Amino acid sequence: MSEEADEPQAGPSSAGLDWPNLERNRAGVPGGVIRRASGQGCMSWIQKVLEQIVDSPLTWVTPKEVAFVSVLAVQRYLLEEPDDNVRGGPLYCYDVTISDGVYREKCYLDPSLNSLVYKNILKVGIEMKISRVSCLYNEKRLGQGILCIDNVQCGRTLDAISLETPFRNRAQGVKPERPLRGGKSHYLALWNNEDPYGDIWLTDKQPKEHNFTNTKIISLSHLETTWTDRSDFPALLVRILRQSKLRYYGKPDKKTIEPYQTVLEVADRSGTVLVILWNALCPEWYKSLRVGLVLLLQDYSVKKSYQFRMHPLPVNPHIKSISTMEIGLNLQDPPTNIIIIPENQVKPEWKLPKLNYQFITRSELDDMPKDTICDVIGLLVFVGRVQRSKKKENCEDFWSYRWIHLADGTSEQPFIVELFSTSQPEIFENIYPMTHFMCTQLKVVRHDAQVPKLLYLTTTNESRVFIIGELNDQPYTNDIKVQNFIQWVTRKTESGQVENTVIGGYYPYPPVPETFSKYSNLIKAHSFLTPVSEVKKEIEVLQYREQKRIAIQGIITVIKYIPHSSAVKSASASETLWNANRSSASPAAREETESQEGNRKCYQYDRPVSAQCIQTISSSFSPSHKRRILQGPCAKPFAVPQTEASTQISGDRLDMPSIFQYWKSSEGKMPKTFTDRWESQMWRDKKYHVTDHLHYSQVYPESIPRKFLFEHRNFLTQQYNSQPSKYIPPAERPPKLEDFKSARSLGHFEITILGLNHDIAIDVAFLPMYSPEDVRTSQIDTLLTCMNYSCVYPQTVTDIDQCSDPEALAGDIIKAVTELDRVHIVGILDICNLGNNKVEIYLQKIYTPEDTS
């Protein structure tokens, strides 16, 4: 940290809490008093294990009785100082709350098992067997220790877990919750550091009337010119114009208990300035502050602006931006006094600036320059799953983000928004289609020279998101663009047209450029190609919901079409058993299981046929082979190759009639013979001689975008959010995700890519993005542009207009692959860890030698 934070206000909490001193030592962390049961009531497994530890001469034991316990919470926090035996290891540790049906116990997870949490194998709602435990004693107190989990086997997800079970040690249920180890006073969000988590984050700060009779107020412009000569500062009366997301800067060697920071941009009639909230003030105030509030600030500090701080673009160019100083707010040095002034007490003579929104419509976005800052309002028509990306390579910190689409009625195409967490988890984790949604302070990302053209919006550090309910008394109500949107969406709702909305699934955005040289320019020059031999390593280091895009070289040797119906038939029964067996195993055991399962095929609900599929495979077509495959939402039958039965494919390729044949009947219809698989002669020669064959072509239910059903909004929202930190019992017996209709109409493909050295092969899935009803098809036309294909989707589609023969398009794709026989290609793969030992790998694009030269 180049900026120094204020010192903590309280000493570090202890590792445990001595039972007799509970009331006077409430700041401590309840670890647990080790003592024998009284003999009354049902003896719990947890109590038996604790007594076994007490009687053991060792610091660890293998429980005499190994029983299933259920997991109620997995909570993350920063290590105060890494132990010597884990130095160079993780920065964070985990407390796991378990229940044996009699008692609950909060336990410390040995850092060697952190990977089970990283990959979402050890998670709430499952049962697990603990096969080795130890006790970490607090040597400063009598009889006090923490139960440590040293070895586990994770099992299946339970239908329901009772939350009525009491803590064995009542101190562990005391609020606010405290971590078992170290001096930190709070837990972090499980999957990122930006979201406030836990009961230390207050929400009850309310506006209150203030008597200004004896309050001396100074303007920002006057303060700017006099602050260096003052020892004390009069009050500031300002309005919040912007609020940043939280910044967590905790490190193991820092003693600050609540190392948070947030930045407010505030203004009075004389100018704007940045205000920094530090440390414990963030949990106290962050969730109560919002853009537009009027604040009275007293007992603040002033210092020269931090030279490396990024200043947002001015909200109002007519208001002076003061960049030479910044205001500091802290609980000490001096202890800041913050008062929210009710809006009805705000006087016109104060001349506080009004909020100045910069709304744009979707039709206006096409002409917006790169990096323009704007606000948007729209109807959510697609909400993607929550994903994560590393902030830096080889670090434990991640960004959480999701892709969303907003329609506003001004264009057939939606806003595409890359929505990062804005420290508003109550909104970020609870958005679903058909919701009126507003995003502020978005930045335009565009690249017109790329094919397909890139154009979307992304959040900034100052972005805020809102679910729009009643618009009365909101400052943006009078904006003409907001009023036009409300009128449009009201008409759509009343006419019942708000139907074809989609949630979740794999979303291959942003698209990659048309040539490999442009692709390689987008990323680091030294890492744009991954050897096939290193793909497995790339997969193994991925954490839960982490998505990564890599490029490999190889030769396509096999393609097999899996229609939608085939995927349905082998749905999830075998997968559930398979994953239950794998999830509880050690890494070595899982690797062995994967090897044993090498040739196993378990087809899940498939994905529709992606336009990218055609883009990816057909990009190598010669001009004479390029043709229009899709027309409209398939309003007409697919155009198919009009080849003679005698057509031959050169080299080792199969005869064309064996892949896709058409004969015109007397009635003018097109009966067909369809073969769903092609295998090259090279693969027949090499497949038994490869040293490793990686199998990652399985398509999981989580990968499929689903038709959104409003009556199941809670279930669907939960499925595509991140795994929660605490167990939430279902309100009723939940449905299965695979029971919801796919938003896509076609199946998927399994493709085998053989490495250039012919020693390693990898199976991947290929998921064409085509669907007549898919609200995201605004991208398909763009995706096909570089192949001289076109696909136009009208606003409404009738059942008669929809494609009736997906095999026709599948045959075209298979034919395209046969023309890549023995061709060295570069394949762009999207990899994502779905948790619980499930990894999806999808072929996003193929570059041929012409593209890579």
| pLDDT at position 808 over 80 | no
- If you average pLDDT over residues 760-772, what whole number do you get? 79
pLDDT score at 328? 95
The separation between the first and the last C-alpha atoms of the chain, rounded to the nearest angstrom, is 45
Q: What is the pLDDT of residues 24-49, one digit of tens each?
A: 233 334 455 555 555 445 789 999 99
pLDDT at position 138 is: 73
Element (H, E) at 494: helix 480-494
pLDDT of the residue at 798: 38
Looking at residue 69, what is its pLDDT? Answer: 96
Of residues 473 and 138, more confidence is placed in: 138
SS (H, E, C) 47-76: HHHHHHHHHCCCCEECCCCCCEEEEEEEEE
CA–CA dist 494, 798 (Å, integer): 20
pLDDT for the residue 809: 75
Assess whether pLDDT exceeds 50 at residue 600. no
CA distances 164 to 39, 49, 104, 582, Å, are: 21, 22, 10, 30
Measured in whole angstroms, how far is the alpha carbon of residue 506 from the centre of its chain?
12
DSSP 12: P
> Which residue is associated with the tokens 């034919």?
815
User: What are the residues whose beta carbons fall under 8 Å from the beta carbon of 787, sequence distance 6 or more?
Assistant: 614, 615, 618, 619, 621, 626
71: pLDDT strictly greater than 50: yes
Q: Is the pLDDT confidence value at 775 over 60?
A: no
**Average pLDDT for the chain:** 78
Does 475 sit behind a cis peptide bond, omega within 30 degrees of 0 on the bond before it?
A: no
Is residue 415 left, alpha or beta, with left meaning phi > 0 and alpha meaning psi from -120 to 50? beta
- Which position has the higher pLDDT, 792 or 98? 98
Using only the alpha carbons of the chain, give its radius of gyration.
30
Residues 6+ apart with CB under 8 A from 82: 88, 89, 90, 91, 252
What are 615-629's pLDDT values in tens digits? 443 443 333 333 333
* pLDDT tens digits along 528-586: 899 999 999 999 999 999 999 999 999 999 999 998 755 544 333 333 323 333 333 33
State the DSSP code for 58: S
**In the predicted structure, residue 409 carries a pLDDT above the cut 50:** yes
DSSP per residue over 744-786, as a string? --S-EEEEEEE-TTSSEEEEEEE---B-TT-TTTHHHHHHHGG
405 has a pLDDT exceeding 70: yes
pLDDT at 449: 86
What single DSSP character describes residue 80? Answer: S
In this prediction, residue 852 carries a pLDDT of 65
Task: Give residue 473's pLDDT.
Answer: 65
Least confident of 135-149, 330-344, 828-842: 135-149
Q: Which of 379, 571, 583 is nearest to 486 (CA)?
A: 379
Instruction: Please compute the mean of the pLDDT values over residues 94-102 and round it to a whole number.
Output: 96
pTM for this prediction: 0.82
Reported as a pLDDT band with limits 50, 70 and 90, residue 394 is confident
- Chain center to CA of 95: 23
Q: Please give the Cα distance from 817 to 814 (Å, whole number).
A: 5
Which pLDDT value is given to residue 7? Answer: 36
The pLDDT, as a whole number, for residue 673 is 60
Q: Which two tokens stand for residue 357?
A: 């929104």
Amino acid at 160: A
**Residue that is written with structure tokens 């709602």 in the block:** 125
CA distance 443 to 328: 28
| DSSP conformational letter for 609 | B
Q: Is residue 800's pLDDT more than 50?
A: no
List Cβ neighbours of 573 (8 Å cut-off, separation of 6 or more): none
Range with top average pLDDT, 59-68, 270-279, 313-322, 596-605 = 270-279
Residue pLDDT, tens place only, 215-265: 999 999 999 999 999 888 999 999 999 999 999 999 887 888 899 999 999
CA separation for the pair 428, 420 (Å, rounded): 9
Residue 581 to residue 575: CA distance in whole angstroms: 10
Tokens of 721: 């959010």
Tens-place pLDDT, residues 681-698: 999 999 999 999 999 999
Share of the chain above pLDDT 70, in %: 75
User: What percent of the chain has a predicted confidence (pLDDT) above 90?
Assistant: 54
